[in-house]
Amino acid sequence: VHRVVGLAIGLALLLAPAGVAAQGVPGTVESAVDADCGNQPLPPLPRPAIPDNPAIVDFFSSFRAPLPPAALWNPPGQRRVGLQAGHWLTEQAPPELSRLQQGSSGGGKQEWEVNLDIALRTRHMLESAGVAVDVLPATIPPSYRAHAFVAIHADGGAGGLHGFKIARPAFSSIPDVDDQLLDDLNRAYAIATGLPRDDEHISRRMLYYYAFNSRRYCHSVAPGVPQAIVETGFLTSVIDRQLLLGNPNVIAEGLADGILDFLARRPSL
Ligand SMILES: [Zn+2]
């Protein structure tokens, strides 16, 4: 049991910025409390507690539990899409996100530069189709709402890894709708780029992405908003860099097409 708990804590720390595993008072189900999204600065968080603290086990299991079902965010009028350029302006993150990482690099570029370039190209394509677009940094506005939210990343890894992968929150409040967004993105992205799917390397970091985690962080996407995270390819792959750096319009086209297919499922009122 001790080993399992240790593993759980290690994983929780790995997944969650800002030492959240230790926020609770021993014996309380700390995760039942929503993130405090008032204007007060968040208090400093204590360091991790003893390994077999039941509050930590509760925290970890509820961290993975599905959010309660939410109504789909689908107001009438112009469609709005949030595109997050992963790792962009990470240094400006608030204390609750102080453990955000810098991302990968390759081909002389930092990941955030590549993500931002793709986001801006995708914005242009979506705007041409009449969609309003917010290009967002690593820190998104509190309880962010749009008709769809897509976080854009580029992967790094050794051993000739290449290809793309897309995930939606494992704890989604609207799993059927998020699955539609996932399907539309997967189809359109594969067609546009010709890259293979690398689903077997979808990580917990993707499935429990911080910007999805409205239970823990104020700077997150609101429940009911369709949301996904895309690893567009490997910056460490010569093959993938031919598109990520050499022909980024193709990458953006794959994202824009998938998002437009998804939005077309619910014509604006
Ligand atoms: Zn990244």
Phi, psi of 71 (to 5 degrees): -70, 140
Contact 168, 227 (CB under 8 A): yes
Cα separation, 176 vs 42, whole angstroms: 34
Q: How far is the CA of 48 from the centre of ligand 1 (A)?
A: 26
Q: Is the pLDDT of residue 173 over 60?
A: yes
Q: How far is the CA of 22 from the centre of ligand 1 (A)?
A: 25
Q: Is the pLDDT of residue 72 over 90?
A: yes
Contact 88, 137 (CB under 8 A): yes
> Could you give the angle at the alpha carbon of 102 between the alpha carbons of 97 and 103, nearest 5°?
120
Q: How far is the CA of 31 from the centre of ligand 1 (A)?
A: 26
Q: How far is the CA of 81 from the centre of ligand 1 (A)?
A: 20
Could you give the 3-state DSSP secondary structure of residue 10? helix
Q: How far is the CA of 235 from the centre of ligand 1 (A)?
A: 10
Q: How far is the CA of 103 from the centre of ligand 1 (A)?
A: 5
Q: Is the pLDDT of residue 34 over 80?
A: no
Place 101 in a pLDDT band, splitting at 50, 70 and 90. Answer: confident
pTM, 2 dp: 0.80
Q: What is the mean pLDDT of residues 163-190?
A: 98
Task: Render pLDDT for 179-206 as a digit per residue (tens, 0 to 9).
Answer: 999 999 999 999 999 999 999 999 999 9
Cα separation, 260 vs 265, whole angstroms: 9
Q: What is the mean pLDDT of the chain?
A: 84
Q: How far is the CA of 269 from the centre of ligand 1 (A)?
A: 35
